[in-house]
Amino acid sequence: DLVEKLTKQRREFNYVESKVPTYTLPNPLVTRGGDLIRSPKEWNERRRGELLELFREQVYGRRPDTEYSLRFEQTAETTRAFDGAATGREIKAIFEIDDRTFSFPFVVFVPNNASGPTPAVIHINNRYFVPLATAVEKPDPFWPVETFIERGYATASFHTSHVDPDKKDGYPDGIRSFFADGKPPEDTAWRSLSAWGWAASRVLDHLQTIDSIDASRVAVSGHSRGGKTSLWAACEDERFAIAYSNNSGCGGAALSRRAYGETVERITTSFPHWFCKPFSDYAGRENDLPVDQHEVVALIAPRGVYVASADEDLWADPKGEYASLVAAAPVFGLLGKDAIETATMPPLGQQRIKGQTGYHIRAGGHGLGELDWDFFLDFADTLLK
């Protein structure tokens, strides 16, 4: 079966549930000093900031506070996309620090016939850039623009590597190096995942200038490394109303302590540019992490979080992805919101939604397609419409 096959392929990784180590998750509602958080006020004033700092220092790195200017330049437009249903624009985000500039392109679509400002989804595309012309001509299940429009959503997307190249030695060409004026990154400085999430926030800056979009109803989404990014983007930027994390696995929704499928050791070795240096120190000793990934979900509370898995994508640990969503429920509860608390996963191909959180596990392998989007938009409808 699948577990046997995968175990043979990747002998050093665990795919057997009974071999998951025993662990205790850190309680998101207990401070580092051991105090129990009892009110929304205490959460906001004492715990949320502390947790955010822990993730910056230990996992994703700290963003720079260097001042920059940002302007948006339109490079292409079509007002009649999809038989007149949408207007599409290609935009260049141009950053300036002193006399240096950096830019990345993104594409935005807004429905033409909406009765008022619409919600929107910003999709972090880790695979490729979809220029305006391609988006109009060729349906793409990875970013199904027409589906968004039909369902009354505006949408925008950019390609991660245009912001920070997705490779070990890509630093000199990315936004991080631009901010550091070419100096090498400090151990606890931001890495690519955080840089991509930051870029999603800059796209949101642009959406805030569009009258036909309601910027208080914007979701951020991503698949796999993009799904790790969408979660962290929503932790760092509280303007995002929902984070959708698809097949995000290790360093995304999956609990690090389960060490099932991809591990901290493997991910920090294969992708040293994704996480800040301290995260790699937890290789093989996940139990020592002061945080775990359920607390990323908790940091997004009381806003919406949607997690999706695929049953053959064991590398991403579907059980661990679901478990972190459930383990964050007490924080939603403290903040007066409902969230999924059921310990057992929903049946294959069925969606579970409760209040601010939603989940599905689809049949098949690692990927993002129409079914995932349909389920996600059903969830988004409950919170944004």
Q: Are strands 69-80 and 86-97 parallel, antiparallel or unpaired?
A: antiparallel
Q: How far is the CB of 228 from ligand GTR (least distance, A)?
A: 7
Would residue 100 be called left, alpha or beta, if left means φ above 0 and alpha means ψ between -120 and 50 degrees?
beta
Min separation Cβ 4 and ligand GTR, Å: 21
Task: Restricting to residues 16-45, name those near ligand GTR by CB under 6 A.
Answer: none
262 near ligand GTR, rule: CB under 6 A: yes
Instruction: Return the number of the residue (266 or 337) whose C-beta is nearest ligand GTR.
Output: 266
Nearest distance from C-beta of residue 168 to ligand GTR, angstroms: 13
* Pick 255 or 267: Cβ nearer ligand GTR: 267
Counting contacts by CB under 6 A, is residue 194 touching ligand GTR? Answer: no
199 part of the interface to ligand GTR, by CB under 6 A: no
The residue from 14, 155, 160, 224 that contacts ligand GTR (CB under 6 A) is 224
Q: Segment 265-304, which members bind ligand GTR (CB under 6 A)?
A: 267
User: 189: which 2 tokens?
Assistant: 């400085």
Cβ atoms of 163 and 195 closer than 8 Å? yes
The reply to whether 225 sits near ligand GTR by the rule CB under 6 A is: yes
Q: Smallest distance, Å, CB 274 to ligand GTR?
A: 8
Kindly list the strands in the beta sheet with 154-159, ordered across the sheet, starting from the edge strand earlier in the chain: 69-80, 86-97, 100-111, 154-159, 118-125, 213-223, 242-246, 304-310, 357-362, 351-354
Q: Which helix (H) or strand (E) holds 331?
A: helix 329-334
Question: Which of 192, 194, 224, 324 is an active site residue?
Answer: 224
Q: Residue 230's closest CA among 96, 380, 57?
A: 380
At 237, the amino acid letter reads: D
| Position 191 contacts ligand GTR (CB under 6 A) | no
* 258 near ligand GTR, rule: CB under 6 A: no
Closest CB to ligand GTR among residues 14, 126: 126
Q: Please say whether the beta carbons of 244 and 221 come within 8 A.
A: yes
The encoded tokens of residue 348 equal 């294959």
Does 362 interact with ligand GTR (rule: CB under 6 A)?
no
Does 230 engage in binding with ligand GTR (CB under 6 A)? no
Cα separation, 339 vs 358, in Å, equals: 8
Examine the residue annotation and report whether 206 is marked as an active-site residue of this protein.
no
Q: Which is nearer to ligand GTR, 86 or 361 (CB)?
A: 361
Q: Which amino acid is at 290?
A: P
Per rule CB under 6 A, count of chain residues that contact ligand GTR? 7
- Residue closer to ligand GTR by CB (options 207, 250) is 250
Helix/strand/coil (H/E/C) assignment for every residue in 87-110: EEEEEEEEEEECCEEEEEEEEEEE
Q: Is 216 a catalytic residue?
A: no
Q: Residue 115: what residue type?
A: S
Tell me the residue nearest to ligand GTR as measured from the CB: 224
Give the amino acid at 345.
Answer: M
Token duo for residue 243: 């984070």
Determine contact, residues 356/383, Cβ cutoff 8 Å.
yes
- Mark residues 112-131: x for contact with ligand GTR by CB under 6 A, - for none: --------------x-----
Residue 222: partners with Cβ closer than 8 Å, 6 or more residues away: 123, 124, 126, 228, 229, 230, 244, 245, 246, 248
Residue from 144, 197, 249, 318 binding ligand GTR (CB under 6 A): 249
Q: Which residues lie near ligand GTR (CB under 6 A)?
A: 126, 224-225, 249-250, 262, 267
Catalytic residues: 224, 366
